[in-house]
Structure 1
Amino acid sequence: MKKRIALLIIASIVLSLASFVVAEEVTLTMGSWRNEDAEPVQQMLDKYKEISGVSIRFEPTRNTEYNANLRLQLEAGTGPDLFYSRSYTVGRKLYEDGYAMDVTDIPGVMENFDDTARHAWTAYDGKVFAVPFAAVNHVVYYDKDAFAKYDLEVPTSFEELLVVCETLKENGETPFANGLAENWDILECVFCGMVPNYIGGFENRELYESGERKLNDEYFLRALSDFEKLTKYFPEGFQSVANADGPMLLGLGRAVMFIDGSWRSGAWDVDFPDFNWGAFAIPAPEGNAQAICHHSDMAITGNNATKYPEEVKAFLEWLASPEGAQIVTDCLPKGFFPMISSDVKLADEKTAGLKALSDEAIRDSRFMWNTLFELYTPLVDNLNGIANGTITVEDAADALTKLQEEIVAK
């Protein structure tokens, strides 16, 4: 009898150990468009494993290929358990098509993020389809030593910015390192970085989305006009300058300013450790309130087809907690800002400075990201035309307005 009891106890222990081993062997996968963040993100996921015992393998894809590849994977049933969700239209479509989880009821999502943070990942049915992860600012990087050399101050208006550009040009400098070769950045970084200074915050953007305001009104027309003025200070042969060329031109002293995103900031210390850089918000024209493109950039959601829904939801709950958010923030690449409402500390001084640029300004995401995404390519084409002098600002605005009316009418 005693022998039988002993055997039963041993068997019970073995079974318990077996189930523990099974739990330990759970490995989730995470898709992302940020392949350059593999090391810091994996550090974050390793810290989560220490807490939960669940491994998560980071499997990023090239940024320009992510949307198409992720959809193909999800449609084929081979998608990752967790994946980065684009804000607004692209992410919302994956939810509407049944691929992205409804995370509304996951603890922390409604309590720890305000309406502004959740807005970019809220579907038309009111459900939240991803946990907000990180935001970025669109800024002007500048060479502090060059500004000091010519006794220049950081401009506080667009008009002052043009004076700075003219002074630099007169002294043989290239004011801006931006170009047109890749197209996406001239729209997303430069023009979308400018737009909130001309139309205001998201309340006014929504007037364009509804059609109440037109893209040839005085506000949008002025944004296009000032964009045209700015392109006069791009490098010679700017049509062939790619986004990756900009940091090189700036870091090597061949240009003085570069409009890009805060996500770029961590690369300066690696690629150009001696470069003395600063950053300022793209200034508003005189008479307008200072605004900034503070873009809701990244969120993480779960795959509805995952084999491990409980483990996926547990990770998302951790992500939505103040404790998880602090660990995430400590591991985020420089230039990315947490979106949680709790008091999260940014250890990197320059990242904190970049975030501070949006603390007192009117904030909004990229102009067409919500419901006007069909304007993406037409905007790129018209901005190229304006920069190259093949189309007038007025004609571009009229053409965009016609497309806007078609989109709103659908």
Structure 2
Amino acid sequence: MVKKIGILLCILALCGGMVFAGGEQEAGQAGSEKEITLNLWHIHGWETRRVPLENALKRFEAANPGVKVIPSHYENDPYKTKLKTVSGQDFPDVFHSWGGGWLKSFVDAGLVADITEASKSWADEVSPEALAFNTYYDKVYGSPYIISGTYLYYNKEIFQKYGLEFPKTYDELMDVCETLKNNGIIPFALGNKSKWPGAQHFVHLSMRLGGPDIFQRALDGDVKFTDPAFIKAGQMLQDMVDKEYFPAGVNGINYDTGGSRMMFYTEKTAMILQTSGFLSNCKAENPDFYKTKLGVGMYPEIEGAPGNSTDILSGENAFSVSASCEHKDIAAKLVGFLSTDEQYQKDLVAGGTLGSRLGLETEEPLLKTAMTILDNATYMQNYVDQTLNPELAEKHKDTVQALFGKTMTPREAAEEMQKVYEATK
């Protein structure tokens, strides 16, 4: 459990600052001279994630009298834009992050507090893979509270109706797509206005063709972004576009506002490639579909290629403390609490979200399957738009969106990626 942190009020009175000790007195206990306020920014608008977070914050406040946490919610992409436009003292005390290259850019800019020492009290209670996504230069800059994987979801009733088995190979997947199309059903739901949903298709194809670490090797300079695996992945993706395995106009459909999910729920489509966040979305938006029709599996392997179906595209959600936060110790205590509080983590799982705390269990079939897939993964690739530096990540999403729109050839997309890589490395 998170260790108690107390306030030495006499030093507070003399210095106007805060010193934390290991005594029994909680931070902000009645009698302190001023209330401690922490601003927290997050992206969880869905009830299945927002309510557990709000309840957890209330429990933290109750355990730390005199501490007030003010949460602010933003949509995913506007949040990323907003965080880039603020700096210094305008930064929130505690902010949502995804680790990887995304968070590293803020670390390198001096905007994130080092919470290595504080993390020692909870690090062994959370997923080590997720914690590693927030560790740079042997220092910890974020505490994960949600872990995630990308899965191929499918409509079990539609598959059963047409005698389809979940595909184990890419050729089998193409056969499934052709059968669905011949029966008037679009194989894949996809809303790619925000670019990252479509990128998951490209990344899976690249990992299956070039091996699970193909993106890391490109980032390290061991291979180029013009590697044949990337070009072939683009060709295969555009082949699926040409065969109309995706809805028309995918680049104008917004996943975040529900466009592609509605196509899946209304059975205009039979599959959707999405993160584990889709489980909580589906459970909240269409509980009957979730209980009776939803199936979950992994993107199939490509026969003869080095990638395996057990290589997973994954990631996490974390909270970090800003370098400008006035009360870093209590803020670090908060992020550790959100990573390990048993009730919060159980509430996340109950809502269809995979928590980061080790030892979480569930008897709900879909969640159990998702957890088992993560546990048995042979390789975990952090979401590529979070692994790459921000400029290269944006180019990655732009080029994949262009591949879907057929405004760029696979080779042109690969050459653009290499060009930006060389300019930003």
Name the TM-score class by shorter chain.
0.7 to 0.9
1:29-64 CA-partner distances (Å, limit 9, x unpaired) = 211122333322101222333434444232122222
Structure 1 position 23, deviation (Å)? 8.0
Structure 1 position 262, deviation (Å)? 1.2
Which residue of the other structure, out of 380, 384, 387, is the alignment partner of 1:367? 384
Which residue of the other structure, out of 146, 156, 160, is the alignment partner of 2:168? 156
Distance in 2, Cα, partners of 1:70 & 1:259: 28
1:210-232 CA-partner distances (Å, limit 9, x unpaired) = 22111222322332233223333
Identify if the C-alpha distance between structure 1 residues 253 and 115 changes in structure 2 by more than 3 Å, giving closer, same or farther. Answer: closer
Give the aligned partner of residue 198 of structure 1. Answer: 209
Which residue of the other structure, out of 331, 334, 350, is the alignment partner of 1:312? 331
1:179-212 CA-partner distances (Å, limit 9, x unpaired) = 443333212x33234443333334x433211221
Give the aligned partner of residue 370 of structure 2. Answer: 354
Give the aligned partner of residue 272 of structure 1. Answer: 286
Q: Which moved more, 1:147-156 or 1:174-183?
A: 174-183
Q: In the alignment, is the contact (CA less than 8 A) between 2:77 and 2:194 conserved in 1?
A: no
Distance in 2, Cα, partners of 1:263 & 1:395: 32
Q: Which has the larger radius of gyration?
A: 1
Q: In the alignment, is the contact (CA less than 8 A) between 2:167 and 2:176 conserved in 1?
A: yes
Structure 1 position 401, deviation (Å)? 2.9
Amino acid paired to 2:61: K
Q: In the alignment, is the contact (CA less than 8 A) between 1:302 and 1:313 conserved in 2?
A: yes
Identify if the C-alpha distance between structure 1 residues 99 and 392 changes in structure 2 by more than 3 Å, giving closer, same or farther. Answer: closer
SS for the counterpart of 1:20 is coil
SS for the counterpart of 1:358 is helix
Q: Which moved more, 1:136-145 or 1:375-384?
A: 375-384
Give the aligned partner of residue 317 of structure 2. Answer: 298
Where do residues 236-251 of structure 1 align in structure 2 (5 Å cutoff)? 236-243=248-255, 244-251=258-265
SS for the counterpart of 2:99 is coil
Distance in 2, Cα, partners of 1:111 & 1:267: 30
Distance in 2, Cα, partners of 1:23 & 1:296: 41
SS for the counterpart of 1:213 is coil
Amino acid paired to 2:366: K
Which residue of the other structure, out of 31, 41, 48, is the alignment partner of 2:41? 31
Give the aligned partner of residue 85 of structure 1. Answer: 97
Structure 1 position 274, deviation (Å)? 2.9
Identify if the C-alpha distance between structure 1 residues 351 and 58 changes in structure 2 by more than 3 Å, giving closer, same or farther. Answer: farther
Amino acid paired to 1:405: E
Where do residues 97-108 of structure 1 align in structure 2 (5 Å cutoff)? 97-106=109-118, 107-108=120-121
Distance in 2, Cα, partners of 1:196 & 1:135: 20
Q: In the alignment, is the contact (CA less than 8 A) between 1:108 and 1:320 conserved in 2?
A: no
Give the aligned partner of residue 74 of structure 2. Answer: 61
SS for the counterpart of 1:274 is helix
Superposition TM-score, scaled by structure 1 size:
0.83
Give the aligned partner of residue 186 of structure 1. Answer: 198
Q: In the alignment, is the contact (CA less than 8 A) between 2:43 and 2:75 conserved in 1?
A: yes
Structure 1 position 271, deviation (Å)? 2.4
Give the aligned partner of residue 12 of structure 1. Answer: none
Distance in 2, Cα, partners of 1:132 & 1:349: 24
Identity of aligned residues (%): 21
SS for the counterpart of 1:132 is strand
Which residue of the other structure, out of 368, 377, 399, is the alignment partner of 2:416? 399
1:263 is aligned to 2:273: no
Q: In the alignment, is the contact (CA less than 8 A) between 1:135 and 1:294 conserved in 2?
A: no
SS for the counterpart of 2:296 is strand
Q: How many residues align?
A: 383
Distance in 2, Cα, partners of 1:206 & 1:245: 32
Amino acid paired to 1:398: E
Give the aligned partner of residue 12 of structure 2. Answer: none
Q: In the alignment, is the contact (CA less than 8 A) between 2:264 and 2:271 conserved in 1?
A: yes
1:332-384 CA-partner distances (Å, limit 9, x unpaired) = 264432334x3222465422322222322322112343345423343334323
Superposition TM-score, scaled by structure 2 size:
0.80
SS for the counterpart of 1:343 is coil
Q: In the alignment, is the contact (CA less than 8 A) between 1:155 and 1:161 conserved in 2?
A: yes
Q: In the alignment, is the contact (CA less than 8 A) between 1:131 and 1:299 conserved in 2?
A: yes
Give the aligned partner of residue 15 of structure 1. Answer: none
Where do residues 222-241 of structure 1 align in structure 2 (5 Å cutoff)? 222-231=232-241, 232=243, 233-241=245-253
Identify if the C-alpha distance between structure 1 residues 377 and 55 changes in structure 2 by more than 3 Å, giving closer, same or farther. Answer: closer
Where do residues 37-76 of structure 1 align in structure 2 (5 Å cutoff)? 37-53=49-65, 54-75=67-88
Gaps of 5+ in 2: 1-27
Distance in 2, Cα, partners of 1:259 & 1:28: 37
Distance in 2, Cα, partners of 1:369 & 1:209: 12
Identify if the C-alpha distance between structure 1 residues 262 and 144 changes in structure 2 by more than 3 Å, giving closer, same or farther. Answer: same
RMSD over aligned Cα atoms: 2.7
1:338 is aligned to 2:348: no
Distance in 1, Cα, partners of 2:420 & 2:323: 35
SS for the counterpart of 1:30 is strand
Distance in 2, Cα, partners of 1:382 & 1:101: 33
SS for the counterpart of 1:278 is strand
Distance in 1, Cα, partners of 2:371 & 2:365: 10
